[in-house]
Chain A
Amino acid sequence: MTDGRLKSLLNKLGDVRGREARSALTLCGFFFLITFTFYIIKPVREGLLISARPSWWPYADLATALLIGFVVALNTRLLNRLPRRTYLTASLLFFAACLFAFWYVFDVIQTTQLQTPVADSSGILFLLWAQMIILQNKVIPVFVFCFWADVFIAMSVTQFWIAVNDVIAPFQAKRLVGLFVTGGLFGGIAGAAVAALASYFRPNHLQDLLLVCPVLLVLAVVTVNVVYAGQRKVDAAAGNDRLAPAVRAGYAESFRTVLRHRYLLLLAAMVASALVVGTLINYQFKTVVRHVFETDAARTSFVAAFLFVILAVSTVVHLFTTRRFLRAYGIGWAISLAPLVLLVGAVAVFLIPAGLMLLWAWAVRGGDKAFDSTLSQSVRELLYIPVPEDVKYKAKIFIDMFVNKFGVGLGAGLYLILLNVRHFEYRADQPLALIRETGVLTLVFLAAWLGLTRLVYREYPDVLKPSIRKKWDQGGDVISRHVDVDMTLKIFNTIQSRERSTTLYLMNLFDLVHRKELTPELKDLLGIKRDEIEARGMETLFDVGGAGLFPGLEEAMDDVDLRHEIDLVFLLPAYQEIMAGRLSGIVASPSEVDRIEAAKIIGRMVANAPTLEALGQLLQDPSAEVALYALESASIHRTPEHVPLIFQRLGNPMLRGEAQTALAAYGPGIEGMAQPVLRDTGEPLELRRAVPEVLARVGTQRAADILLDELSRNEEDLEQALIDALDKLRDERPQVRFREKSVRAEVLRLVRKACDIVLNPPGEPGQAEAALDIRIKRVFDLLTLVYPREDIIKDYQNVLQGTAKAKAYSLEHLDTVLDREIKVLFLPLLEDLPSDERAALVRKALRLK
């Protein structure tokens, strides 16, 4: 079958994308075979146990809980020492061999029950001594088998998810987990069906069922080897050695790992409380089954039929709901659904009459089992996704094998205490009373489970974050970290002014000294250290080794008193009077240098009427350099009548930056004057595009509100400038709040625009891709307004240039934090998909035919 056809087949059961089809199918097959096996084993185990005395039930579970630690230790050691493929193969073959041994034991017991004389069923005489031992200790094989079955179930499921973690990246896992669970459910149905049919047609030979299992396990061995052989090829091609490093950790280290991580601890507690609830419900169920059915065969047959029906129902529910539920409501609701539904069931036990007991047991145990096989199983595995790889294996083995059994053990212990305290052993004729009293305990642990789901979910995004690293610093951050941009520009202006006039140069120098202590290198560069005046041509402007201006300049610059004296001169009434008369003449002068000097000096002068009038004229000067100095002076005086003149300068790219600086210097209050300019379609577009930056620099709440309002007007030509301004505001003014509802609406609008590019690509493929990249960047910039900025920047960077794994973590983080409406459209745009597949997903998300 071709990859394409295989993918379309698998897509009916899950969400398979790109080249995942083969690995997804093999993993699905692996899980099918494992669950097929343990749903044959499970009814046999349950049937044997229910037929034992009820007070023994908890002992079986307790024995498992106590002994599982040794198995975990052995398992961890094997996992550490053996290559993953060898480890899985060996353990599956070991389980297959055990099944032959159990078959032999139960066959001996069964044969003696049917035939009075002791006979060697195998026909091998030297095994007679073994048969004698078995027959003298019939209870022990049942307990050993129960323990072995628990170990097999726990280990095989853990091994399957280890294989998934080896082969599938995190974000893939979220989509494919549904497919795997489907495989598991089909396996469960097949196993339960075989067990039910066998117990119906051969009620006295249930042990023969165990002979089916080794065949299935050998097939599982083949599947495992196919999975790992295929993955090695993929990894080799991608230069990825994901399988190479084995995580080495002992049992104690696994335990310490869980203790060290709050998230894992909460996860372990959640799993344990769920298991306590499941165990208690199981005892309630067993009590009812024992009460209703009288023979071993009837009980085994009922359990097998029950499992078959529950798994069939689970499969149908899973196929139609799990994926949709996860996509629609996310992990948060998915982990809470099971405890919520079971809570209703647990309360119902106090209300039902005795006649409805079996129905109640069906519903509640069935509900627990159904959730456990579908949604809860999927979500439980997804909760490991954010955990770093090195921690994940340690924690998973510990939680899956030890905490699981601890939960069962705790449930068993509590049940045992309850039996002893309430003497239920003697009230076995009143099963309703027994299940109600057990129900009180169930309610307590359901409440704990529910509370823990909330805590786990709250921690989930934070656990993802360490796996998402920043790829590069934002351009603005790099610049501001190393350079005082304002100062640098002034240095360049000062150097340039040397070509214009000595006066201008000196004024600029004094400004620089006012602002900052100059370094010796800078003084040298500016010519302060030289001891003779020399006019300079352009060609020697940067000849820093050349001569300077006049003797004693360096000392003069450092003389604070002199600088103070100069400041006082500007305040002299006589100076102001004389300069007022002179300014009008200078402004009209044909000499550009005179006008530049005037524009500069006005910034130091007192703001009286003649000065401001002259400044107004200089702001409109045709010379860019004159206007440059005039804008600088205007930013000092900040007179309202100059604002329209400054706004006009925004249209000139040569002066835009200085005009923005001058307007921003006006501070709060300028927003009201900026908004009409921004909206005035009669103004040049370039001018309007420069306004959002002014608002960003003003940085007030009102500026933020105006920028958002303007963005919602959906004027395509202003979109980039508005988003850049909002992003800058968010970065520089963390105290400013953005109306979440408005931002989310805008994000959604932009995402839809990006979807439009996917559905109707403009021009050539490269052009569409570039347009999509720009749209995606805008969406991320807007997302920073309502989510932690650093997190969103990291997500963007990793989606753009991260490794496959880093990208998967970022997508997972976005999937967790974004609104459903946004993410269903946005995430397909970010995934690595062929364009037709992406278009299909977007079309589906938009519900287009």
Chain B
Amino acid sequence: MAAPLVIKTREVKHVVVFDIEGEMRRHDTPQVTLSSLVQGELDRGRRNIVFNLAGVGFIDSFGVGEILASFKSIQDLGGKLKLCRISDRLLLIFKITMLDKVLDILEDCDRALDSFDSA
């Protein structure tokens, strides 16, 4: 049984952090998607966003699509998306598929938050 996806949102120093837990995969019952939550934040004028993936055990093509769609929406509005606490196994797949060239991946979330200040 796949672990349900739970997304919590918080704001730290004008940066929106999505704490994501569970499996980012296609479900049989439609649910709120990550990209739609991101779009909501963009509509509210937020431009800097962090995905905290510490609690994510699995990502399928749907999950990757959601991350890429979020990246595109944020980037086009001049915002920044950063990923933090990604598992080693997922990082390896991101490297092999070259997604690490597109996505700004940081080891811990505090550094991800600080990096917005220094940008």
Contact = CB atoms under 8 A, between A and B. Distances in A.
Given A496-B25, A625-B26, A653-B36, A488 B97 contact: yes
Contacts of B71: 475, 478-479
Interface in A756-784: 766-767, 769-771, 773-774, 777
A608 interface: no
Interface string B1-43: 0100000000000000000000001111011010010000011
B90 A542 contact: yes
A488 B94 CA distance: 9
Contacts of A639: none
Interface residues of A, number: 51
B65 A525 contact: no
B60 A493 contact: yes
A799 B90 CA distance: 38
Contacts of A628: 26
A774 B96 contact: no
B115 interface: no
Contact of A653 (B28, B30, B57): B30
Max chain A CB contacts within 10 Å: which of B30, B36, B59, B90? B30
Contacts of A222: none
Interface string A475-492: 110110011010111111
Contacts of A475: 71-76
Contacts of A657: 62, 65
A11 interface: no
A475 B44 CA distance: 20
A509 B114 CA distance: 41
Given A471-B78, A800-B78, A489 B64 contact: yes
A469 to B, nearest CB: 14
A655 interface: yes
Given A492-B60, A654-B27, A797-B78, A482 B98 contact: yes
A542 B92 contact: yes
B26 A624 contact: yes
Nearest to B88: A542
A538 interface: yes
Contacts of B118: none
B78 A542 contact: no
Given A483-B102, A488-B64, A777-B77, A525 B93 contact: yes
A657 B64 CA distance: 12
A539 B101 CA distance: 26
B55 to A, nearest CB: 14
Nearest to B64: A492
A543 B87 CA distance: 11
Contact of A483 (B36, B76, B89, B97): B97
A483 B45 contact: no
A622 interface: yes
A624 B78 contact: no
A770 B44 contact: yes
Interface string A618-649: 00001111001000000000000000000000
Interface of chain A, helix or strand or loop or mixed? helix
Contacts, number: 118
Contacts of A491: 93, 96-97
22 contacts: A474-B76, A475-B71, A479-B68, A482-B98, A483-B99, A488-B98, A493-B60, A538-B57, A538-B58, A543-B89, A544-B92, A624-B27, A625-B26, A628-B26, A653-B36, A654-B26, A657-B62, A770-B43, A773-B77, A774-B43, A777-B76, A797-B78
Nearest to A473: B75
Interface residues of B, number: 42
Nearest to B63: A492
Max chain B CB contacts within 10 Å: which of A489, A492, A800? A492
Contacts of A538: 2, 57-58
Nearest to A769: B45
A521 B76 contact: no
A474 B78 contact: no
Contacts of B96: 491, 519, 521-522, 525
Contacts of B60: 492-493, 496
A492 B66 CA distance: 13
Contacts of B102: 478-479, 482-483
A483 B98 contact: yes
Nearest to A524: B96
Interface string A521-543: 11001000000000000110111
A430 interface: no
B20 to A, nearest CB: 16
A771 B102 CA distance: 28
A402 B89 CA distance: 70
A769 B26 CA distance: 35
A201 interface: no
A801 interface: yes
A129 interface: no
A761 to B, nearest CB: 13
A76 to B, nearest CB: 41
A472 interface: yes
Contacts of A488: 61, 64, 97-99
Contacts of B72: 475-476, 479
A601 interface: no
Max chain A CB contacts within 10 Å: which of B71, B77, B97? B97
A490 B93 CA distance: 12
A479 B74 CA distance: 13
A742 interface: no
B58 A493 contact: no
A466 B28 CA distance: 52
Given A483-B98, A488-B98, A492-B61, 19 more contacts: A472-B78, A475-B71, A475-B74, A478-B75, A482-B101, A488-B97, A488-B99, A489-B65, A521-B96, A522-B96, A525-B92, A542-B93, A622-B28, A654-B26, A654-B27, A654-B30, A655-B26, A769-B45, A800-B78
A488 B60 CA distance: 10
A771 B45 CA distance: 8
Please provide the 10 A-B residue pairs with the shortest distance between their CB atoms, ordered closest to farther: A770-B45, A542-B89, A475-B72, A475-B75, A489-B61, A482-B101, A492-B61, A488-B97, A624-B26, A496-B60
